[in-house]
Amino acid sequence: MVTLSAEQILGQAERLCQQRNVRMTPQRLEVLRLMAQQIGAISAYDLLDLLRVSEPQAKPPTIYRALDFLLEQGFIHRVESTNSYMVCHHFEGPAHTSAMLICQRCGTVAEQHAEGVEQIISALAQKEGFALRHTVIEAHGLCASCAEVEACTAHESCQHDHSLLSKKRGRGA
Ligand SMILES: [Zn+2]
Ligand SMILES: [Zn+2]
Ligand SMILES: [Zn+2]
C-alpha cells in the first residue's frame, strides 16, 4: 500500500479540514505531525511526552481531544489490542475497515484493507441477528524483516541486529 511522507499527510489533512469546514488547530496538527513521524503505532501517553517538548503545559485531555478529532476525521486509526494509535495513509479514500498487522518485535503496524473479511463478519453477524457497528481486525506476528532476523542462525556473520527480542505478549501486564 502507498506510504505518504509526513508533509503529504499534513497537507492532505489540512485540505480535507478546509473542505469539511472543520477546524484543524495548530495543536491538532502538531499531534498529527508527531504521529506521522512514528514508524508504528503510538500510545496516548507516549504522544503526550512528545507533545510536551513543544507544549510543556499539555495534559492528557489535550491529547485525547486531539485524538478524538483525528479519529473522527478518519486521519488516524486506533489499534485496540495495543491501545495505541496510528496514521492512516489513505484517508482521502472512503471510510474503511482495515486489518492491522502488528509486529511484536519492532512494533510496526501495517494496514491492509479488509473488504473480504468485512463481508464474512457481516454475514456471521446477520446469522446471529446481530446489529454490527464496529469491526476490529488485528493480527500479531512478525513483519517480513523481523521474520527474516528471527529465522537467521548465522549470528556471527550476518548484518542483523539480534539484540532486539520479540516482546512476548505479557501475562497480566
Ligand atoms: Zn486507513
Ligand atoms: Zn518487525
Ligand atoms: Zn542474523
The model's pLDDT over 74-96, given as tens digits with 9 standing for 90+, comes to 999 999 999 999 999 888 888 78
Neighbours of ion ligand 3 (CB under 5 A): 152, 158, 160
Task: Assess if residue 53 is contained within a domain.
Answer: yes
Q: What is the rounded distance in angstroms from the CA atom of residue 130 to the CA atom of residue 62? A: 36
CATH number, domain containing residue 47: 1.10.10.10
Between the CA of 157 and the centroid of ligand 3 the distance, in Å, is 7
pLDDT tens, per residue, the chain with 173 residues: 567 889 999 999 999 999 999 999 999 999 999 999 988 899 999 999 999 999 999 999 999 999 999 999 999 999 999 999 999 988 888 878 889 999 999 888 999 888 788 889 999 999 999 999 888 899 999 999 999 999 999 888 898 888 876 654 443 33
Which ligand is nearest to the Cα of residue 155, counting in written order?
A: 3
Task: Assess if residue 33 is contained within a domain.
Answer: yes
Domain count of the chain?
A: 1
Residues 6+ apart with CB under 8 A from 103: 40, 109, 110, 141, 142, 143, 146
Parent domain of 70? 1-93
Task: Assess if residue 116 is contained within a domain.
Answer: no
Whether residue 133 contacts residue 171, with contact meaning beta carbons closer than 8 Å, is answered with no
Between the CA of 102 and the centroid of ligand 3 the distance, in Å, is 21
Task: Assess if residue 102 is contained within a domain.
Answer: no
Other beta carbons within 10 angstroms of residue 4's beta carbon come to 17
